[in-house]
Structure formats: structure tokens, C-alpha cells
Structure 1
Amino acid sequence: MSLPNQGVPCDSILIGAKHTGHELAAATARDAMELHGAHALDGDYPLQRLFRDAQHTYAPAGTGEFQRIHLAHTALGTPTTNWSQQMTATPTPAARGQPTAA
């Protein structure tokens, strides 16, 4: 059973995992591009696509900044809103096993 389904606040864990995953993917792709040099820019070379795909794991519109701010609040012990807990507090009809109207 997942942490949200158990009613455990887990926003910091989820945000940390997403942020770390993106940072590692982007850094690894950049390193690989530098290592392979001009070959990495070739459209037929798989690395070129991996580099492009890694850039799309970072959501636009300030989401990365929100993630860093939330993680800083967690590290400092400042209370923040736990959306994962709020979402499970009032389950949707689909979460209750009731189909939605078509």
C-alpha cells in the first residue's frame, strides 16, 4: 500500500525523488554529450535523443523552484501544506470505486 493511501504525508519524499531523478538524468546526459563530442549531435546517434528526452523531465513554469522551496522548508522544519495528505482526505468517486458519469 502506498504512503498516500496510508494517510502518511509524503510530499517531501515524492518531490525529492522527482527533483533528484531529473537532476541526475540531465547531468548524465550532459556528461555523455561532452564525452561523445560531435557524434552526440548526429540525429542517428541514440545519445542525441536521450539528451533531448532528459530536458523534458523538468517541468516548466517554476515547478523546479517550487520543489526546491518545498525541500528547503522540509529541511528547516517549517510546516508546509502536504498535498498528498489532502488528496487522500477526500477521495474522488473513482478512488471510492464508483464509476464517473459518462
Structure 2
Amino acid sequence: MSTSATFQTELVAIMEVLTKAAVTEISKLVDDGYAVLRLEISRSHLENEELKRQLAIQMDTKRRTPQSSITYINTGVCRGHLYNDKGRTAMGGLLNLVRSYM
């Protein structure tokens, strides 16, 4: 066997060992990265479920809140007159009420 053939055989053997080691190391890194990614996705799903639960509780609470306890302020233009039980326009009283909060 010539020196050139021996050198090539040794080089091939060394390259095979290095290639297998590199593939093993790369596979380990990919597996570790995949595990971290799965953990992050799992945490994200749990966080989303908790947020959905909190939103459902808030929506349920809002639905149960009596409408009389919610204050609405109309800032639109009034096209007619509101009359109270004495036949007078109620807008003056409403404006005074709004001004008292400003």
C-alpha cells in the first residue's frame, strides 16, 4: 500500500469521526433548543388560558352590574326638548348637573 493510499484512508477515518461528533453535537443543540421552545409555548398557552379566564370573569361581572349604577354622558346635539313632570324643559337642569361635575 502506498503512502498516498494510507494517508487517504487515515484522512477518511478522521473525517468520519469528526463528522459523527459534529452531527451528534448539532443534534444535541437542536434538541435542547426544541425543549426550550416547547417550554415557552406551554408557558404561553397557560398564560393565554389565565387571561381568558380573567376576561370571562370581568365580562360576567360587567353583565351582572346593574345598569342604574353606570353613568352615561351624552355629548351629542339635542334636536328636541326634554320636559320634566312640570312641563318645563329639563335641559337647564341637566346642564347644571353636568357643570357641577366639571
Q: TM-score, normalised by structure 1?
A: 0.29
Greater relative contact order structure (CA < 8 Å, 6+ sep): 1
Q: Which protein has the larger Cα radius of gyration, Structure 1 or Structure 2?
A: 2
Q: TM-score, normalised by structure 2?
A: 0.29
**Structure (1 or 2) with the greater helix fraction:** 2
